[in-house]
Amino acid sequence: MSNIPILAQICKLIPGHMIKKIIGGLVEEAKKEGRRWVYPRVFSYFSHIVSMIYLHIGHAQSITEVCDALNYSRWSLNTIRNATAPRHNTLSNANRTRSPEIIKRLYYSLLGYYQRGIPNFFQRGRNSYFRVPRRIKRLIRAIDSTTIELVANCMDWAKHRRRKAAAKLHVGLDLDANIPFKVITEPANTHDNRYMVRLTEGMKAGEIAVFDKAYVALTHLRTLTERGIIWVTRCKENAKLKVIKKFKKGKQKGIISDELVEWKGKKSHERYPEQLRRVKALVKDTEGKEVIITFLTNNKEWAARSVCDLYRARWSIEVFFKEIKQSLQLRTFIGYNRNAIEWQIWSGLVTYLLLRIEAWLSRWRGGFKHFCILLKNIMWQLQRIENIVKKYGTAGDRGGGEAAPETPYLCGGILLRD
């Protein structure tokens, strides 16, 4: 037995000094800019974060549901470093007025803390959705975006179509651990390639970036190449390329052609004067029809099949989007202005990271969604999570780190032919 509830065990994965350090840094920045920082009188920042974590684990549908549940269990809540239950207006005002930079910095601080503290969690193969080719011993980052639908009340900042509002979550995913290393939240009415520079910030020479053709911008591709970053993407249908050299296909299955190319157009050639590698592969869609997919990369040494396998691993980011939307509360939002939306999105990412860490520490062998369902039902029980996992259902009979879909789709329902 444990003397603290399940929710407290999850929240205590946040080091006690971390939030104070983040607030201290923001206060110093505010002083330098001549702004006044207002400290909360009753509802602390930690209590605010705990309330938002409960929102996601409990799949609460409204502020009222969050406040009622936490007030009903306020004595158990108090065991989480004296966290207090909010009132309706208090939580609503906190989401509306407090800077979401607090929760953003908390996510990145936790990510760095656990990368240093439990490096085994971030090793390849421990938590991967798809097998990345073992012959490639480099860090692989997948870049993509997902649209989060909002209600019409968000129209002022997230107008998407005539009567719709939506935000976009641009994510750079570490394919070794399937944890986001870079996240950007913006309105959905802007093109994806605007955020490519920010998504690849911090990437080092030798690392690999895999992304869809929506993120293709020749100027930035050239910058990535100059920085020593290897990239793989799909080729646009209207791309005008000139063949310089043809490589031998060998006995690689599904490979139609493997060529060295360069851009034909004058402006395109000025933006990216270096030569590229173009690989055409025969693949099957979900209906069993064979189609041709064309890939581009700046790596001229790999086998053509390795280029295809790398892009197939990009589907992990689609599985990640599906997981967070199904397992966390990112469909029903409890606030309407931009601050409130960002607080809910970033608190969801913090919750995702904490739950993935807890699942790994407790040696959970089932899927992430299954783990979330379990925690939702036992949130206030006074038992150690690892003890519950040992006795729970068929979790101990499953192998692997995370549940993976049966079919490794490549893009739009397409998978590589074996």
DSSP assignment, residue 87?
P
Whether 1 is covered by a domain: the verdict is: no
418, pLDDT greater than 70: no
- In terms of residue numbers, what domain contains 294? 131-314
394, pLDDT greater than 70: no
Tell me the per-residue pLDDT of 20-60, one tens digit each, with 9 for 90 and over: 999 999 999 999 999 988 889 889 999 999 999 999 999 99
Q: What is the dihedral of CA 322, 104, 110, 197, to 10 degrees?
A: 70
Look up the pTM and report it. 0.89
For position 393, what pLDDT does the model report? 61
Instruction: Judge whether 202 and 194 are in contact, CB under 8 Å.
Output: no
252 and 161 fall within a common domain:
yes
Give the orientation angle of helix 338-361 with respect to helix 316-327, to 10 degrees: 110
Mean pLDDT of 328-355: 93
Distances (CA, A) of 275 to 228, 262, 305: 15, 5, 20
For position 399, what pLDDT does the model report? 40
Q: Is 191 exposed, middle or buried (0-12, 13-18, 19+ CB in 10 A)?
A: exposed
pLDDT class of 411 with cuts at 50, 70, 90: very low
Whether 116 is covered by a domain: the verdict is: no
pLDDT class of 323 with cuts at 50, 70, 90: very high
CA dist 165 and 299 (Å) reads 40
Number of folded domains that form the chain: 2
Whether 240 is covered by a domain: the verdict is: yes
Instruction: Judge whether 98 and 339 are in contact, CB under 8 Å.
Output: yes
310 and 190 fall within a common domain:
yes
Average pLDDT, the chain: 86
Residues 6+ apart with CB under 8 A from 250: 303
155, pLDDT greater than 70: no
Residues 6+ apart with CB under 8 A from 2: 9, 382, 383, 384
285 and 382 fall within a common domain:
no
